[in-house]
Chains A and B, each alone.
Chain A
């Protein structure tokens, strides 16, 4: 098993550009999450999904969109990038919340200039 695969690892965007962060897991987990990590702050939930075709907003969803067409894939789309979106992004998945551990992708360091 590869676990959670997240790409790219690094990206620099100009203000107003768009991009998609890819996240794929091969563990057949229904629950998937996107977090952002800002310096000195705890991880914040952007969006999550409890299964294919089902997504919901987290704590900081503005400026982002997600889709979940398959169990494996949970891409995060940034539209009209802004400097406030400069952060480190993590994708994660879990088999059963409250019963199992979380699996994280390796992270994407994004700078918007």
Chain B
């Protein structure tokens, strides 16, 4: 079983829909990253959070440390949001290299 699990694996939505992508982890963490991988392959960092909630534009990330769960929400989704979304957990007390990545959620937003 992966230490970081994402759901769903694939998600198709209509433009304008509210989208939720989930990330569950089994290790103690010091931080969790949400990344976006564009269809062209490039990866950008969306959020890094260790507690609570962060918002940037139409994107909202939340984390519940007790439940070991994080969610990424997209409001008013748009076709340009189509991408793979990846969560990565920084293992608490692990080495400085220790980020555990989920396999990603492939989102397709149809016009």
Interface residues on B, range: 20 to 34
What does the 1/0 interface line of A59-71 toward B look like (CB < 8 Å)? 0000000000000
Q: How many residues of A contact B (CB 8 A)?
A: 26
- Does more than half of chain B's interface fall in helix, strand or loop, or is it mixed? strand
**Cβ-defined contact, B31 with A98, below 8 A:** yes
Let me know if A113 is at the binding interface, CB within 8 A. no
**Cβ-defined contact, A43 with B88, below 8 A:** yes
**Cβ-defined contact, A109 with B97, below 8 A:** no
- Which residues of B lie under 8 Å from residue A48 when comparing CB positions? 96-97
B105 CB to closest chain A CB (Å) equals 12
**Cβ-defined contact, A45 with B97, below 8 A:** yes
Contact A101 B33, CB 8 Å, known A40-B103, A43-B86, A107-B41: yes
**Cβ-defined contact, B97 with A98, below 8 A:** no
A91 CB to closest chain B CB (Å) equals 11
**Cβ-defined contact, A42 with B102, below 8 A:** yes
| Cross-chain pairs A/B with CB under 8 angstroms, 21 sampled | A31-B96, A33-B97, A42-B88, A42-B100, A42-B102, A43-B88, A43-B101, A45-B97, A56-B95, A56-B97, A58-B97, A90-B43, A98-B31, A99-B31, A101-B48, A102-B35, A104-B44, A106-B41, A106-B42, A107-B41, A109-B41
Contact A103 B45, CB 8 Å, known A42-B4, A42-B102, A48-B97: yes
Cα–Cα distance between A107 and B101 once the two chains are bound (Å)? 17
**Cβ-defined contact, B90 with A97, below 8 A:** yes
**Cβ-defined contact, B90 with A104, below 8 A:** no
What does the 1/0 interface line of B75-91 toward A look like (CB < 8 Å)? 00000000000101010
B27 CB to closest chain A CB (Å) equals 14
**Cβ-defined contact, A42 with B104, below 8 A:** yes
Cα–Cα distance between A99 and B31 once the two chains are bound (Å)? 8
Let me know if B14 is at the binding interface, CB within 8 A. no
